[in-house]
Amino acid sequence: MKKKEEGTALILVLLVVAVVTVLGVTSVDRIQFGIKESSDISLKQQSYWYALGLESKTSDFLKERNRAKNLSNIMMFDEDLPKIKVEIKGGYVEGSLKDLTTCFNLNGLVRLSEENKLKLNQSGVDQFKNLLNALRVDDFDQEKLIFSLVDWIDSNNFTEDVTGAEDDFYTRLESPYQTANQTIFNANELINVKNFQKDVFNLLLPFVCALPKIGSNFVNVNAIKKDQPEILVMLFGEKLSLASASNILADRPLAGFIDKEELLSHPELSDLSLSNSSLNNIKLNSDFYKLTTKVENFDYPYILNSYLEILESGKVRVIQRTQGIF
């Protein structure tokens, strides 16, 4: 009996030791997790301030460039915009600037209704059709892409067309999710939208962007790259061929077209009957940019997207920031 009691006591002692050990390990794990979490928060905050520093310097650059552009009379394209990489302790800060007036604004597909809801914007749809035509996407696929994307952004829960899709489609997928029902933050979001398979996504990506302004479809003719005549066709419609668009970009003065009259007097445009929408969307200067700042900070990868607008006063304001990891 005594041996049985001793055995039971030994088992209890071992059990207590095991419990204490487990509790000890759990406590250590929690402490280590807490330290890591605290460290990550600190690194994120530090990375954010690094990114804001670069954002401030970029704003200064844009103000100076905007002030001097009439003096230099030289157009600047994306490849001419500064790309910065600075070494810091534990990594680097890297920034790149993109002109957002030489692409199709995906958020131009919708407008704000009187009820303060996002709904289809016909002028944006027409412009997107022009781009898809220029990229030789067939008519049926165009309808599928347009209405799927409008349904992804707009505020309602009903499809604009049988080719579109709302939550009832996405929630039945193997890995279900819901429509955004809000403006697009990044063009990469397209990969989540019905009908935007990888080949279509890759085809469109160089020509589209997500400007944080709805119903805005302005295009700066003076900043379109010569190898992207599709953007000019997007602006003026199918009346303008790709060959004619290429000729216009090739003939563009070094300082750019001074005004709309000079542009429209080009032989490839002078005989065309252009819509008011096309004429109203012509710009000859850039006022929206996206700064993408990547910070590698002791293996913590941080990214900040800053959307910058140059105001008529020459000042630069930040209209939106989005952050994450890369």
Q: What is the pLDDT of residues 257-301, one digit of tens each?
A: 999 999 999 999 999 988 888 999 999 989 999 999 999 988 889
DSSP H helices in the chain:
2-72, 122-134, 139-153, 167-170, 198-204, 229-236, 242-251, 260-264, 276-280
> How do the domains of the chain map onto residue ranges?
115-208
The answer regarding whether domain 115-208 maps to CATH 3.40.50.920 reads no
Nearest residue to 121 via CA among 277, 239, 286, 280: 277
Q: How far apart are CA 29 and CA 76, in angstroms?
A: 54
The CA-based diameter of the chain, rounded to the nearest angstrom, is 112
Per-position pLDDT tens, the chain of length 326 = 544 445 555 555 444 444 444 444 444 444 344 444 455 678 888 999 999 999 999 999 888 888 776 544 455 666 667 688 889 888 999 999 989 999 999 999 999 988 889 999 999 999 999 999 999 999 999 999 999 999 999 999 888 888 899 999 999 999 999 999 999 988 999 999 999 999 999 999 999 999 888 988 899 999 999 999 999 999 999 899 999 999 999 999 988 999 999 999 999 999 998 888 899 999 998 999 999 999 998 888 999 999 999 998 889 999 999 988 66
